[in-house]
Amino acid sequence: MRAEILDFLRQNQGKYVSGEEISRELNVSRTAVWKHIRALKQDGYQIEAHTRAGYCLRGTTGRLLPEEIKAVLTTKVMGQEIYYYPQIGSTNNEAKKLAAGGCPEGTIVVAETQNTGRGRLARGWFSPYGKGIWMSVVLRPPFSPLEASKCTLMAAVAVNRVIRQVAGVYSGIKWPNDILFQGRKLVGILTEMSAEMDAINYVVIGMGINVNIEEREFPGEIAATATSLLAVSGREIDRRMFLAAILKELETAYHLVQTGGFTSILDDWRSQSITLGKNVDVIGPDHRYSGLAIDIDNEGALLVKTAQGVRKVLAGDVSIRPVV
């Protein structure tokens, strides 16, 4: 009922509506209306109350509350079920628990901040409160576990499209899962899977997107290597609209993969890549070599041309950076 009351206030935003009118339209008692209004104000909604005039919604919370996201969502699957946390250890860890418990495909976990957010190779992720999109999405794809790693490439393509279209920032994808602008990281993506021998139970795609972080807020250890859409574009981004656009683009890409395979996604990834055509340094646990990144294969592995021939680099076992 709280969501319905909020929707009614939003439809009349800037105007006063009486408790009696809300009660009549939504078939709920005036006492219940008052309790829900109080709860909405505690959530941060700017609602003015006037004894004779009623209630007036003046502004929203700025938080990524489920009601705020759903108000602008245009998807059929992605984000239809939302778990919101003001603070959480890791959205990926929570999404994996929900997935193991049988939550529907498209469920998202979103938080204002993470205490133990993770990137690839167990690296930490800076997640300041209310300044980014820290989100995980649950998928239950019908394809082989061997193709699951390509979900990272699919997510990178979808997010990068939205960054270019909505934020107007011409960013590029660094293999396999980072989105950069002029060499500095905007987005990190972490894909985790549970599978049997021949079937995927679930895939969780975690995204850390630096949206409205000011340059001065980045800690010293990453200040030179990370940036945000605010810092790059010079304007604050509406996080809920941006999140809704990402879910829509991800749903479109996922549907394309399910009906036609990954070919078009891999082609889009190639066109947005800032790794291909560059000299790279490949660093693994027990090896290191340099070469020219020439392509990705049909499995999404990076192909690096070295003096000894072309070597295949698998997602998750190396770090890659331009040779200095």
**Is 119 marked as a binding-site residue?**
yes
The answer to whether 202 touches 140, Cβ cutoff 8 Å, is yes
Residue 130: strand pairing partners: none
To the nearest 5 percent, what fractions of the chain are helix, strand and coil? 35, 30, 40
Reduce the secondary structure of 101-163 to three states and give it as a string. Answer: CCCCCCCEEEECCECCCECHHHCECCCCCCCEEEEEEEECCCCCHHHCCHHHHHHHHHHHHHH
**Is 91 marked as a binding-site residue?**
yes
Amino acid at 248: K
**Is 51 marked as a binding-site residue?**
no
**Is 27 marked as a binding-site residue?**
no
Residue 133: strand pairing partners: 209
The CA-to-CA distance between both ends of the chain, in Å, stands at 58
**Is 113 marked as a binding-site residue?**
no
Give the phi and the psi of residue 236 in degrees, each rounded to 5. -75, 140
In the chain, count H helices and then E strands: 9, 14
**Is 24 marked as a binding-site residue?**
no
Please choose, from the candidates 208, 176, 187, the residue with its C-alpha nearest in 3D space to the C-alpha of residue 315: 176
**Is 12 marked as a binding-site residue?**
no
**Is 23 marked as a binding-site residue?**
no
Binding positions are: 90-92, 114, 118-120, 185
Binding positions for biotin are: 90-92, 114, 118-120, 185
